[in-house]
């Protein structure tokens, strides 16, 4: 149990009496500490690529370089710029998600379309990361299964980004030649579960509980190499919560990981309900 912090204030009356006012500021202080941590993290995340970028500019200005060397430096500089761009993009997404509730009117989003888009992205990302080495084995539900999954109520953009994020992480953290399996399963009680299982390095128990925190990474350099901002899972968790869904992670070190999002029945419309409604 944590210590409780109480702020005490003595309010004077003119006649010499005093009123003792006390307030529990534990939560206030915790929120303030979190805010400070966050600002420190953001500053650090921006400063690192900026330092590299400025270093390259100075190199270009001072060293006589061949055209090929100059091109190489410009390429590296572009990568640092893109990294900052992704970071700002993710920060804006996170602040939007935290600042406003899901709009009352929502779309019925086709699960088949969500999965199709994830699949396309995963293949492209795998090709880009493995570059001629053995690609990943990527398995998705087949067309009939995807069709039967029906629709989810919510924001198409947010749902797509959450699902894509989990699948892309599986590709990014699984070495070339490894496998990634995506499922959409009906659950008892009418809910459904989206899951991504990979054959990657897995996550040790001491990290497991923390990896959805903003900027928490198990391996900073691996995350950076594959373009990570450290905000992806925090965004996925928010999107899940906003949709009444739950993000879960199961993993054993050295034995891959399974990330899943469990949607409640109230958010789902199965394909057979759709066709029943269509013929009614
Ligand atoms: P990042 O941009 O660093 O990938 P995320 O929030 O998406 O940020 O993930 C946080 C951390 O969780 C990652 O840095 C990585 O250490 C770990 N992680 C995420 N997905 C996986 C996975 N499929 N296998 C192993 N580790 C993972």
Where do the H-state alpha helices sit in the chain? 26-62, 67-99, 111-130, 143-148, 156-173, 205-208, 220-225, 232-242, 271-279
Residue pLDDT, tens place only, 203-222: 999 999 999 999 999 988 77
Query: Can you give the three-state secondary structure of 175-203, one letter per residue?
Result: CCCCEEEEEEEECCCCCEEEEEEECCCCC
Could you tell me if the CB of 150 is within 6 A of ligand 1? no
179 CA from centroid of ligand 1 (Å): 16
Question: Which of 260, 265, 272 has its CA nearest to residue 147?
Answer: 272
How large is the C-alpha radius of gyration of the chain? 24
pLDDT of 43 over the 70 cut: yes
- Cα–Cα distance measured from residue 180 to residue 197, given in angstroms and rounded to the nearest whole number: 6
Question: Which of 159, 98, 139, 151 has its CA nearest to residue 270?
Answer: 151
Model confidence at 278, pLDDT cuts 50, 70, 90, reads low
pLDDT of 280 over the 70 cut: no
Residue pLDDT, tens place only, 89-140: 999 999 999 888 887 778 999 999 999 999 999 999 999 999 877 889 999 9
Q: Is the dihedral of CA 37, 40, 42, 48 positive or negative?
A: negative
- Cα–Cα distance measured from residue 18 to residue 8, given in angstroms and rounded to the nearest whole number: 12
Could you tell me if the CB of 257 is within 6 A of ligand 1? yes
Could you tell me if the CB of 211 is within 6 A of ligand 1? yes
pLDDT of 83 over the 70 cut: yes
Q: Cβ–Cβ contacts within 10 Å for residue 90, how many? A: 19
Ligand 1 atom with the shortest distance to the CA of 259: 23
- Best of 162, 180, 200, 203 to mutate for ligand 1, by most ligand atoms within 8 A of CB? 203
Query: What ipTM, to 2 d.p.?
Result: 0.98
Q: Is the dihedral of CA 219, 166, 48, 63 positive or negative?
A: positive
Q: Say what angle helices 67-99 and 26-62 make with each other, to 10 degrees.
A: 160
Q: Spell out the residues 6+ positions from residue 100 whose beta carbon is closer than 8 angstroms to its own.
A: none
Ligand 1 atom with the shortest distance to the CA of 196: 23
Q: Cβ–Cβ contacts within 10 Å for residue 189, how many? A: 7
Residue pLDDT, tens place only, 215-257: 999 988 777 777 789 999 999 999 999 999 999 999 999 999 9
Region at 202 (left for phi over 0; alpha for psi -120 to 50; beta for the rest): left
- Cα–Cα distance measured from residue 151 to residue 55, given in angstroms and rounded to the nearest whole number: 50
């Amino acid at each position: 149990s944590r210590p409780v912090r109480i702020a005490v204030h003595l309010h004077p009356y003119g006649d010499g009496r005093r009123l003792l006012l006390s307030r529990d500021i534990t939560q206030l202080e915790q929120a303030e500490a979190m805010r400070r941590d966050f600002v420190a993290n953001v500053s650090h995340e921006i400063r690192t690529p900026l330092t590299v970028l400025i270093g390259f500019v100075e190199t270009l200005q001072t060293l006589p370089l061949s055209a090929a060397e100059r091109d190489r430096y410009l390429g590296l500089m572009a990568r640092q710029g893109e990294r900052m761009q992704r970071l700002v993009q993710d920060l804006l997404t996170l602040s939007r998600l935290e600042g406003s509730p899901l709009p009352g009117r929502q779309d019925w989003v086709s699960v088949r379309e969500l999965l199709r888009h994830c699949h396309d992205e995963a293949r492209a990302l795998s090709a880009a990361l493995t570059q001629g080495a053995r690609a990943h084995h990527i398995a998705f539900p087949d067309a009939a299964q995807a069709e039967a999954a029906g629709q989810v109520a919510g924001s198409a953009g947010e749902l797509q980004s959450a699902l894509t994020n989990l699948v892309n992480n599986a590709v990014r953290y699984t070495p070339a030649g490894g496998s990634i399996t995506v499922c959409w399963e009906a659950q008892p009680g009418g809910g459904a579960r989206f899951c991504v299982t990979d054959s990657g390095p897995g996550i040790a128990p001491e990290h497991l509980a923390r990896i959805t925190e903003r900027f928490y990474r198990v391996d900073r350099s691996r995350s950076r190499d594959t373009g990570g901002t450290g905000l992806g899972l925090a965004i996925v968790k928010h999107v899940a919560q906003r949709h009444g869904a739950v993000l879960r992670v199961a993993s054993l070190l050295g034995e891959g990981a399974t990330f899943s999002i469990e949607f409640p029945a109230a958010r789902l419309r199965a394909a057979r309900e759709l066709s029943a409604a269509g013929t009614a």
